[in-house]
Amino acid sequence: MNRSRRLGVAPVAVLAATGLLVAACGSNSGSSGALTASAPGVTAKTILIGSHQPLTGIAAPGYDEIAPASNAYFQYVNAHGGVYGRKIIYKYLNDQYNSSITTTVVRQLILQDHVFAIFNGLGTPTHLAVAPFINAEKVPDLFVASGCACWDAPSTWPETFGWQINYIREGKILGAYVAAHFKGEKIAYFYQDDEFGLDGIKGLGYEIPASQVVAKEPYNVAAANPAGEVETLTAALKASKAQVVIAFAVPAFMALLRLSELALSYSPQLVSSDVGSDPITLSGLLDAYAKKSGSFGDSLIQGMITDSYLPSLGSTSNSWIALFTKIHNQYLPKLPMDGNVLYGMSVAYTFVEALFKAGRNPTRQDLVNAVNGGLAQGVSVAPFAYSSTDHDGITGAYIGEIENGVLVALGPTQVTDNSPTGAVTTDSTPQPGAPASGIP
């Protein structure tokens, strides 16, 4: 695995997909007929899609790699025939994880740039600010980069679909593991004070006995002094004598939490949602914030428990990891091959699958109908929930532990639903292998 760390600020400028268009079409290109300008953003040669991403700001570390990684996969598809011969052009704009900026850039993408779809807009608070507008404009809003259960609202927001496991499901899976392995121990929650954190805490509460929970400490992602706020919250966690701290936090706040624990000589078992636990990103942030080097960051996350809905980067024999590593090395070598890059390529793969299913000359409604009709499992370790009445994405995850900078699975994939009584059960569905072409 590439252990390099890149925590610099990404350019604010838009990046667009590039790549050679060749005569052959993708693997699903058996249909014939002329390609036409069938919808806004779709010409006979290109498909223009757009997104809002935190390329700078508090959420940028790690997350600023996601859109470039998706773009790298699109370049790979473009170089191997595109989608029925069309190249994907991906225009993503910096919203700094600031909802007011998100509103501005999304209006530009839809009203000025006339994108075919909004793809993988990142952030719960930021995307909540624009989902009503996107749906009012009847623009496909595919695969939001957030696990908020709110995206599953087909009667209210028929254009919007989640992709990653939602935070309630994730909280239940983490909670079931903690309840089984830390019986009787004191447990505390550290979480972002919006739908992201609140959904996660809800799921945890469905599985962990309330009698074990001794503290709940929310943080404000827009705090003027994040380090000071986290120090205060960590002191409260220590005072509660919690033996296990479960966090639903973005990487920057996860790193601040771990450094505050170190400063206070407080060493609970740390359990994290997938959002804040990418080993390379988190270790790099710890090194940067503490002004350390070497194995400092790695040592602070050793033994951390988390979950994942994608195969581990440590599974080098996995066909998906091999595929995306090859694409990374060709199209994105300056970035580390970490969990954010894996995420960006994985969600891009699902989007290309939806584009193929939408047909040779798709309308926006064709794309929505394609997802409503269900999509193959692909890269995820559990099936998708997609139907006309369910816009949730991945339905399960496995529990893992960080060992020597790599996530190691502690058991099989678990699936569940969003309800307080739905069981957390083992999923026996084998993950399909990557197609030989690398294209759906």
Instruction: Give the CATH number of the domain where residue 89 resides.
Output: 3.40.50.2300
The two beta strands, 425-426 and 414-415, are antiparallel
Q: In the listed set 364, 380, 396, which residue is the last one of a domain according to the structure?
A: 396
pLDDT of residue 317: 92
Task: Report which of residues 5 and 72 the model is more confident about.
Answer: 72
Mean pLDDT, the chain, whole residue set: 92
Could you identify the residue written with the tokens 């998708």? 384
For residues 189 and 294, membership in a common domain is answered with yes
pLDDT exceeding 70 applies to what percent of the chain? 93
Query: What range does the domain containing 214 cover?
Result: 167-308
pLDDT of residue 153: 97
Span 255-269, average pLDDT: 97
Listed in sequence order, the DSSP H helices in 120-273 are: 124-128, 131-136, 167-181, 195-207, 226-239, 251-263
How many whole angstroms separate alpha carbon 30 and alpha carbon 425?
39
Give the pLDDT band of residue 293 (cuts 50, 70, 90).
confident
Total structural domains within the chain: 2
Report pLDDT digits (tens) over 125-154: 999 999 999 999 999 999 999 999 999 999
pLDDT of residue 32: 65
Q: 3-state DSSP call for residue 183? A: coil
For residues 141 and 181, membership in a common domain is answered with no
Task: Decide if 165 contacts 393 (C-beta within 8 A).
Answer: yes
The most distant pair of C-alpha atoms in the chain lies apart, rounded to whole Å, by 69
- Examine residue 114 and state whether it is found in any structural domain, yes or no: yes
pLDDT of residue 294: 76
Give the pLDDT band of residue 15 (cuts 50, 70, 90).
very low
At residue 1, does pLDDT exceed 60? no
- Examine residue 109 and state whether it is found in any structural domain, yes or no: yes
- Put residue 333 in one of left, alpha, beta given phi > 0 → left and psi -120 to 50 → alpha: alpha
Give the pLDDT band of residue 7 (cuts 50, 70, 90).
very low
For residues 77 and 56, membership in a common domain is answered with yes
pLDDT of residue 33: 81
Span 396-425, average pLDDT: 96
pLDDT of residue 214: 98
